[in-house]
Amino acid sequence: MTTPRTDPVTLEVVELIGTVVARYYAEYEQAAAKHSLTGAQARVLGLLTLEPMPMRHVAQKLRCEPSNITGIVDRLETRGLVERRPDPNDRRVKLAAPTKDGIDTARRLRESLDFAREPLAELSDAERTMLRDLLKRMLGEEAPAVP
């Protein structure tokens, strides 16, 4: 267990990350709203677009109670963006899957998320690569140290 650092640069980075989080989160909600989706609905739809899955798995991915997913999928289903399919292997399970319209909406939403992409254009190729490796190491993924 590493001791959290309190040197000025670390605190500055923490502050900057807070700013990134606030800005990115707000932009995401706004982008979702432009497609008449709430943030939660957009997250569920985006998740299902990667792969249809049982309702319970959606809840696990989003770290919320399964009962919440019922309502969110209800609303997405009402709008024809998602459908419930039976699981041939277990009749208790319902697989939530995006419809064609849902896949299309998710794609347009993804493409409209310019916040993270646009400011990155300010950086050079080398800088983006460096940022990638630093973030990877911060997140505990494998990445070469940047000496």
Residues contributing to the site for DNA (CB under 7 A) = 38-41, 54-57, 62-75, 84, 87, 90-95
Give me the least distance between CB of 81 and a copy of itself, in Å please: 21
State yes or no: residue 87 binds a copy of itself (CB under 8 A): no
Q: Find the binding residues for a copy of itself in span 7-66 (CB under 8 A).
A: 7, 9-14, 16-21, 23-26, 28, 63
Give me the least distance between CB of 86 and a copy of itself, in Å please: 30
Q: Which residue lies nearer to a copy of itself by CB, 44 or 95?
A: 44
CA angle, 9 then 13 then 17, to 5°: 175
Distances (CA, A) of 23 to 42, 82, 113, 114, 115: 17, 28, 12, 12, 8
- Of the chain, the end-to-end C-alpha distance in Å amounts to 23
46: number of Cβ within 10 Å: 20
Residue 43: exposed, middle, or buried by beta-carbon count in 10 A (0-12, 13-18, 19+)? Answer: middle
* Residues at the interface with a copy of itself (CB under 8 A): 2-7, 9-14, 16-21, 23-26, 28, 63, 113-114, 116-132, 134-140, 145-147
